[in-house]
Structure 1
Amino acid sequence: MGHNSRMSARTAPYLPEVQSELRTPRLLLRRPDPADAHALRGAIKQSLPELRRWMVWAQELGALEDTLENLRLAAERFDSRENLRYHIWSPDGRDFVGSTGFHGLDWRVPKGEIGYWIATPHTGQGYAQEITEHLTEYGLQHLGFRRIEIRCDAANERSARIPPLLGYTLDARLKNDDVAADDPTLLRDTLIFSRVR
């Protein structure tokens, strides 16, 4: 039987206080809430053609009940420090801009992986870089991370441009690491970038 080296947030020796809201110069990052369901679904629906290529979960817009359950679980995992997902909003909290956060958490190190997607109507404005820069500093300075990773499909040039601009090092290119989100017959390479402290 294999041994899972990941320690759950509940059994980790170190669980920091995590802010449920963060502000960047132009955006509000907020812990997920079931009240976000309609805004989240609207953003996904507008963005499906772009998201389908990169996100397995974005192949179709699921039922409202599934979105509500996803958000209930995301809030629960945020509170237990298992997964720190943030929804990205306009500064007034009215317009849903995207989603980001720290995933793949291992509080023994501690370390996490930053993920992000920006709704299609808001792309091209530098928001992904802005939130990634903010989360990188927040993770290293306030959460005490010793390592932060960013992983992306090697074909996703827009995502792959961001980490080097923020001082991340390309650790590896994993060849034939995954299947394409929109075509399980195609194999894709994964890029792994990191910042360490």
Structure 2
Amino acid sequence: MNKEPQYDLTLETPRLILMAGEQVLAYKKTITDELLNSADSLKKWVSFFNYNFDKAKATEFIDKTTDMSFNKQFLRYFMFDKETNTFVGSLVLQDIDLRLPSCEIGYWTVVSGQGKGYMTEAIQYITRYLIDTHQFARIEAYIDVKNVKSIDTIERCSFEREGTLKNSDLSADQSKLINEALYAITTPVYFK
């Protein structure tokens, strides 16, 4: 039986600090402000921004996703620009499966952080971290085929498109079926 891995709750890339857990609560106001400023832009692709997203929901989201006792199969990192300490986005590792080990990666950038390459930098770093430090064999992403920016980002990070899943999920607003592109990065598996 595999024991539960200890993930670093603070990671640093050249331009970013990625934080998880209760330490994020010190930045609750700036995160809340950026979430509220970006909700209209993000609701097309991220479902939780679609349900009357307001300050109370932003606070609930931050509290819930930083509670490490609650998070056994996912780990959410909040991303901050090192130079300005501004919140720029979020990256989540979900459906963590320690048997392989593997996970699904999800991500989004707030409006003020878009178009600056932050997410590409974060995904490349977290992918290398999971493979090198935790020996992950597979990291996958499911992306609405219409989300061209997200597809461009994951392809820049060397993820390979494995196929298209037809009618595999609902749109972020839950109004229609969507097709998803399945991307993955895998490592060789050696059995002893």
For this structure pair, what is the TM-score category when the shorter chain's length is used for normalisation? 0.7 to 0.9
Q: Give the aligned partner of residue 16 of structure 2.
A: 27
Aligned equivalents of 1:107, 1:175: Cα separation in 2 = 28
What secondary structure is seen at the aligned counterpart in 1 of 2:99? Answer: coil
Deviations 1:131-176 (A, max 9, x none): 1101110111112111101111110000011222222111121111
Q: Match for 1:91 among 65, 82, 85?
A: 82
Q: What TM-score do you get using the length of structure 1 for normalisation?
A: 0.84
Q: Give the aligned partner of residue 144 of structure 2.
A: 153
Q: Give the aligned partner of residue 123 of structure 2.
A: 132
Whether contact under 8 Å (1:37, 1:67) holds in the other structure is no
Quick one: percent identity of the two aligned structures? 26
Q: 1:79 to 1:25 in 2, by over 3 A?
A: farther
Structure 1, unmatched stretches of 5+, are 1-11
Aligned equivalents of 1:13, 1:79: Cα separation in 2 = 20
What secondary structure is seen at the aligned counterpart in 2 of 1:49? Answer: helix
Please provide the CA RMSD for this pair: 2.0
Q: Match for 1:188 among 178, 183, 191?
A: 178
Q: Match for 1:45 among 36, 39, 47?
A: 36
Aligned equivalents of 1:56, 1:192: Cα separation in 2 = 18
Whether contact under 8 Å (1:34, 1:68) holds in the other structure is no
Q: Give the aligned partner of residue 54 of structure 2.
A: 62
Shift in Å at residue 37 of structure 1?
Answer: 2.6
Aligned equivalents of 2:183, 2:72: Cα separation in 1 = 23
Q: 1:149 to 1:92 in 2, by over 3 A?
A: same
Shift in Å at residue 108 of structure 1?
Answer: 1.4
Shift in Å at residue 122 of structure 1?
Answer: 1.3
What secondary structure is seen at the aligned counterpart in 2 of 1:77? Answer: coil
Q: Give the aligned partner of residue 176 of structure 1.
A: 167
Aligned equivalents of 2:107, 2:175: Cα separation in 1 = 25
Deviations 1:73-109 (A, max 9, x none): 3223378643111000011572111111311111111
What secondary structure is seen at the aligned counterpart in 2 of 1:29? Answer: strand
